[in-house]
């Protein structure tokens, strides 16, 4: 494998000039790809995530088919909660479901913080297989859920629109809330370190549900924990080749300045915010985003227009990683995704 530090993606994460704008996409491997369905067959989602050769093939297939500048580990945010003592399953038509959600002080006391290297050996195996198969110069991105999103899943027990249980705990018993977040943050730090030590070249924290919060609530109830996670993870990977950390949340552009302050080398921006305004306002070294993923279900001309607008506004400024504002949805035509990737490469070729 070549020295990945010179890859287009990692150079962009450091805010350096690149021969073209690198591009990778949230959920670039998954249900929109026939290859994924052929590989998964009747395997349950949880078993699929835990089977290293299947996760590795899904990861590498997507990079190969799309020609993106980075691969991302095929996994999910939630298997990390199993070693905590939570019973997780993925139900058809429902999605992830936790049978024993965290609602009481006793539930919080029962949460375990266990080494991921012992409890999740399939992650290291998958990372090893992926790095062996990826083309030279293509880095692998690892990821974990951010403390707030994982805590909300643990409390709600499944997807939620209003986060009633999570917000009730946050506002009615802040001591319990912070005790839970402390434990989950410990797990996030350990799991992130485990991935870095296993061989990922970058690590992203997904705060997929954080957009439900006001800036005041984020500052008081979430930011200290997220900041600690980034601070500790930034110490992993060695001084010579630090692993870039990406901070991504969705749903509330008002949180972006606080998220930038909370940590990360690259700030992910969803489609609800203007990329350049956020970049200038936060002073981030690098930004990632931010095409609306639903545009990929439209015509090629619409995709070219929307992506071209983002690229024109960035105008080659170093530190831009092109991505979507959130994940590819199952209805997306693969050819449209391939066209987006080639478009970004063609329009930003600076050689």
Interatomic CA distance for residues 142 and 75, integer angstroms: 9
Rounded average pLDDT over 36-40: 97
- Asked whether residue 153 is marked as a ligand-binding residue, the answer is yes
Residue 188's CATH number: 3.20.20.210
Asked whether the bond before 290 is cis by omega within 30 degrees of 0, the reply is: yes
Express each pLDDT in 307-351 by its tens digit.
999 999 999 999 999 999 999 999 999 999 999 999 999 999 987
- Backbone φ and ψ of 17, nearest 5°: -70, 145
pTM confidence score: 0.96
CB 223 within 8 A of CB 258: yes
Cα distances from 30 to residues 34, 161, 168, in angstroms, run 9, 24, 34
Query: Is 31 annotated as contributing to ligand binding?
Result: yes
**Residue 209: pLDDT over 80:** yes
**30 labelled ligand-binding:** yes
Structure tokens, 143: 């990821």
Instruction: Output the CA angle 49-52-55, nearest 5 degrees.
Output: 55
Task: Calculate the CA 9 to chain-centre distance.
Answer: 15
Contacts of 200 (CB under 8 A, 6+ apart): 73, 127, 139, 140, 141, 142, 243
Q: For residue 144, what are the domain limits?
A: 4-347
Length of the chain: 351
Q: Which two tokens stand for residue 3?
A: 């020295």
238: pLDDT strictly greater than 80: no
The stretch 1-20 carries a mean pLDDT of 91
Residue 2 has pLDDT above 60, yes or no: no
Closest CA to 300 of 256, 268, 332: 332
CA pair distance 344, 351, nearest whole angstrom: 14
Q: Over 90: is that where the pLDDT of 275 sits?
A: yes
Element (H, E) at 232: helix 223-233
Residue 130 has pLDDT above 60, yes or no: yes
Residue 208, marked binder: yes
Element (H, E) at 291: strand 286-291
Backbone angles phi, psi at 288, to 5 degrees: -130, 130
Confidence of residue 240 (pLDDT cuts 50, 70, 90): low
- Confidence category of residue 239, pLDDT binned at 50, 70, 90: low
Share of the chain above pLDDT 70, in %: 98
Mean pLDDT taken over the chain: 96
Per-residue HEC secondary structure of 115-168 comes to: CHHHHCHHHHHHHHHHHHHCCCCCCEEEEEECHHHHHHHHHHCCCCCCCHHHHH
326 labelled binding-site residue: yes
- Cβ-based neighbour number of residue 38 at 10 Å: 9
The tens digit of pLDDT for each residue in 138-181 reads 999 999 999 999 999 999 999 999 999 999 999 999 999 999 99
Number of domains in the chain: 1
pLDDT beyond 90 at 57 = yes
Give the model's pLDDT for residue 1.
41
Both structure tokens of 193? 């370190």
Tokens of residue 52, six digits = 């290293």
CA 336 to the chain's CA centroid? 22
């Amino acid at each position: 494998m070549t020295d990945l530090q010179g890859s287009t993606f990692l150079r962009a994460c450091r805010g350096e000039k690149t021969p073209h704008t690198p591009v990778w996409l949230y959920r670039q491997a998954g249900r929109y790809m026939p290859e994924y369905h052929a590989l998964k067959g009747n395997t349950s989602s949880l078993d699929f995530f835990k089977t290293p050769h299947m996760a590795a093939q899904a990861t590498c297939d997507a990079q190969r088919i799309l020609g993106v500048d980075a691969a991302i580990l095929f996994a999910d945010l939630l298997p990390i909660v199993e070693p905590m003592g939570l019973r997780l399953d993925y139900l058809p038509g429902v999605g992830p479901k936790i049978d024993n959600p965290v609602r009481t002080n006793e539930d919080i006391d029962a949460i375990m913080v266990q080494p991921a290297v012992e409890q999740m050996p399939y992650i290291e195996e998958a990372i090893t297989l992926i790095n062996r198969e990826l083309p030279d110069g293509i880095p692998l991105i690892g990821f974990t859920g951010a403390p707030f999103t994982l805590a909300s899943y643990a409390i709600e027990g499944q997807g939620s629109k209003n986060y009633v249980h999570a917000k009730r705990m946050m506002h009615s018993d802040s001591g319990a809330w912070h005790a839970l977040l402390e434990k989950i943050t410990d797990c996030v730090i350990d799991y992130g370190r485990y991935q870095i030590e296993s061989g990922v070249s970058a690590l992203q924290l997904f705060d997929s549900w954080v957009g439900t919060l006001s800036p005041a609530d984020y500052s008081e109830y979430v930011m200290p924990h997220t900041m600690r996670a980034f601070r500790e993870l930034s110490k992993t990977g060695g001084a010579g080749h630090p692993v870039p950390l990406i901070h991504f949340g969705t749903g509330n552009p008002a949180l972006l300045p606080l998220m930038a302050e909370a940590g990360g080398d690259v700030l992910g921006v969803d489609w609800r915010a203007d990329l350049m305004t956020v970049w200038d306002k936060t002073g981030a070294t690098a930004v990632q985003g931010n095409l609306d993923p639903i545009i990929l279900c439209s015509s090629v001309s619409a995709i070219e227009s929307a992506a071209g607008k983002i690229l024109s506004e960035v105008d080659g400024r170093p530190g831009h990683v092109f991505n979507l504002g959130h994940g590819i949805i199952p209805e997306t035509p693969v050819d449209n995704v391939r066209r987006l990737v080639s478009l970004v490469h063609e329009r930003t070729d600076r050689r």
